[in-house]
Structure 1
Amino acid sequence: ALEGFSGKRAEAEGSQPLAELKLVPRMALTLWVEARDGDPRGKKAGSSPSLQLRVVSPEQLLNELLRRLYEERQQLERMARDEDDLARELASQGEEALRRGPATQRDVAKVVARAAEHVERVVVEMISNQILDQTNWNRLREQVVAALEGVGSEELTRALQAAEAAQVAQASEPEALPQLSQDAADAARAVALRLREIVERMGRIEELAEVVAQLKRIIRKQRELLDKTRKERGQ
């Protein structure tokens, strides 16, 4: 919305079938929107910035989506290592770990939430482009997206509460610090364990997706070869 704008606003939706354009991989498609008003005092027109899209093959798109999943998996592996490091320091009642424990757990929670969102976007793209199949989509949603959301609402929530309790004890309850610090360490280890379980599942799903994609490529090539053979025989 324009700041200070007091005129009328209008919204419009529409669709443009792309099949008739007969786009093929390696072609580019540029999209933009133009609008004109009906002001009798003087019609005005405007256009949006252009958006250029590159047409890719199903295999290229799958490779890109698998690359995104791999990046999320790497990020989650780093978070698991951070949780392990924090757990070791908390177990020894390290002052720095006690000080930054709550902030670390909040940061990890943000990364985990973003990872769940990014994986869900990958699934949506797979569905809209009919990449892989329902079984793989369900696996990603149930074993990765839902699992990451569960870590955020359960293990990470407990880890944050434990880290905050240990931080308070450091300042005002030194007699309770050993137990509370150990509790915070155990909670951090629980987060690391759950993240590694999810990372392992992601790896298996990615490997399975690559196998499925390879089988589809083989089947497509066989069909193309069969069609070519039939045409040659018909000549």
Structure 2
Amino acid sequence: MTATTTDVLTFEILDSAEILSLPNIRTLVAGYTGRDEAAVQHHIDELAAIGVSPPPQVPMFYPVELATVTTARQTTVTGAHTSGEVEPVILRHNGRYFLGVGSDHTDRELETVDIGDSKPACPKPVGRKVVEIADWDSFDWDACAARSWVDGVLYQEGTLGNLRTPGNLLRTFAERLGDSGEDLLCFAGTLPLLNGKFTPGHIWDIELTLPDGRTLTHTYTTEGH
């Protein structure tokens, strides 16, 4: 699904003055992206126990509109049962690739009814800073570390070593949905919750630390209505 809105996402390359402006970008949330198939199935079984239907395929790619993705520090959500989770974000612009950090903020009540409907129901915050990745095959994806906090409490922590690599994810995406090389933004998966429970909150801090020590961060707040 390619967004047809006139909205434009703008990013800044870390340690550079270069600005990326991405209008009409293809925007996706990838789910069930764990590398260990047994662990993914265990997660699917856990979700089924709380009423979430199993996915028809693994991994899954859920289209969201460009207007859903935001670099704003304040977002509006509907209902009291929404929560975020830190994710690496793969960007492609004019054939160049970049890595960012975002939060797959989701309506957890709607998720038990239809995951596809729950993905665009909340804004998808992303950090404004990104880093360019010249070659995914030589980039040490597994050594990247991600963390999130909700209202100051550590919520997730770990490396990306259990997630599908960008190369694998992009190849699967192309095989399933087709890929003409257009600009792309893809949330690439998340880490287990430290307490095992989705936790609503007001202030969300997310970070992704690269193997060379550089860190991408974003903080956003949610307001209900």
TM range (shorter): under 0.3
TM (norm. structure 1) is 0.19
Task: State which structure, 1 or 2, has the greater radius of gyration over its C-alpha atoms.
Answer: 1
Structure with higher RCO (Cα < 8 A, 6+ apart): 2
The structure with the greater share of residues assigned to strand is 2
TM-score by structure 2 length? 0.20
Higher helix share: 1
